[in-house]
């Protein structure tokens, strides 16, 4: 069975095509941004958001050291501000969120339920048919349980005629392991 990060990438690999537009909603150290940049290729587009300057710097360093595709736009702002940066008619094939705090960074800066859900709602408006939003839910930190519960409620209430939602979780791991929520637009 695939562990959480490889499975989060697999969910996007299955549906994202070269040339697509995708979003890394939480750049952090840039691992997902780099993955998405390679996935969409030189004719694709990646928007990467993070509220921390250090994360933007780390992500820029990470993508520039590899085969730099120049298809990434890094945005030092919250993902909830997506409307300022991406037109509402610009179609998005996939998005990934890694919730929680920046590893090796300031653990006090964490994603928050209201802004996370606002960002998800705004991406849903742009999501292509068959497109997916993948949320990797880390919830062991302070405020993490609240964000997890809000997201579960939000996802459980998405109209099943338009979206299918997957929860992928190892249920015998200790210490609040992360899990995945993946939303796919089906209509």
Q: Is 79 near ligand SAM (CB under 6 A)?
A: yes
How many Cβ atoms sit within 10 Å of the Cβ of residue 58? 21
Q: Name residue, tokens 């959480």.
A: 4
Pick the stretch among 23-31, 122-130, 154-162, 179-187 that binds ligand SAM (CB under 6 A).
23-31
Give the one residue of 48, 100, 144, 178 binding ligand SAM; rule: CB under 6 A: 100
Q: Name residue, tokens 């094939």.
A: 93
Measured from the CB atom, the residue of 117 and 158 that comes closer to ligand SAM is 117
Q: Is 11 near ligand SAM (CB under 6 A)?
A: no
Residues in contact with ligand SAM, shown as a per-residue x/- string from 34 to 73 under the rule CB under 6 A: ---------------xxxx--x------------------
Residues in contact with ligand SAM, shown as a per-residue x/- string from 159 to 178 under the rule CB under 6 A: --------------------
* Count of residues touching ligand SAM (by CB under 6 A): 21
Q: Is 147 near ligand SAM (CB under 6 A)?
A: no
Measured from the CB atom, the residue of 43 and 106 that comes closer to ligand SAM is 106
Measured from the CB atom, the residue of 47 and 49 that comes closer to ligand SAM is 49
The residue with its CB nearest to ligand SAM is 28
CA 186 to chain centre: 19
Q: DSSP for the chain? A: ---HHHHHHHHHHTT--TT-EEEES--TTSHHHHHHHHHH-TTSEEEEE-S-HHHHHHHHHHHHHSS--S-EEEE-S-GGGHHHHS-TTS-EEEEEEE-SB-TTS-TT-B--HHHHHHHHHHHHTTEEEEEEEEEEE---STTHHHHHHHHHHHHHTS-TTTEEEEEE--TT-SS---EEEEEEE--
Contact positions toward ligand SAM, by CB under 6 A? 26, 28-32, 49-52, 55, 78-80, 98, 100-102, 109, 111, 115
């Amino acid at each position: 069975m695939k562990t959480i990060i490889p499975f989060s990438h697999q969910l996007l690999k299955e549906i994202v095509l070269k040339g697509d537009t995708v979003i890394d909603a939480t750049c952090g150290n840039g691992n997902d941004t780099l993955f998405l940049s390679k996935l969409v290729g030189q004719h694709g587009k990646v928007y990467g958001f993070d509220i921390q300057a250090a994360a933007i710097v780390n992500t820029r360093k990470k993508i520039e050291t590899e085969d730099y595709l120049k298809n990434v736009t890094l945005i030092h702002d919250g993902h909830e501000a997506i409307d300022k940066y991406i037109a509402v008619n610009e179609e998005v094939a996939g998005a990934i969120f890694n919730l929680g705090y920046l590893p090796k960074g300031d653990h006090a800066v964490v994603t928050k339920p209201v802004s996370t859900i606002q960002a998800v709602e705004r991406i849903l408006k742009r999501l292509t048919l068959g497109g997916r939003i993948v949320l990797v839910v880390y919830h062991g930190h302070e405020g993490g349980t609240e964000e997890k519960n809000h997201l579960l409620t939000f996802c459980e209430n998405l109209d099943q005629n338009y979206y299918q939602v997957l929860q992928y979780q190892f249920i015998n791991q200790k210490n609040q392991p992360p899990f995945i929520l993946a939303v796919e637009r089906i209509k």
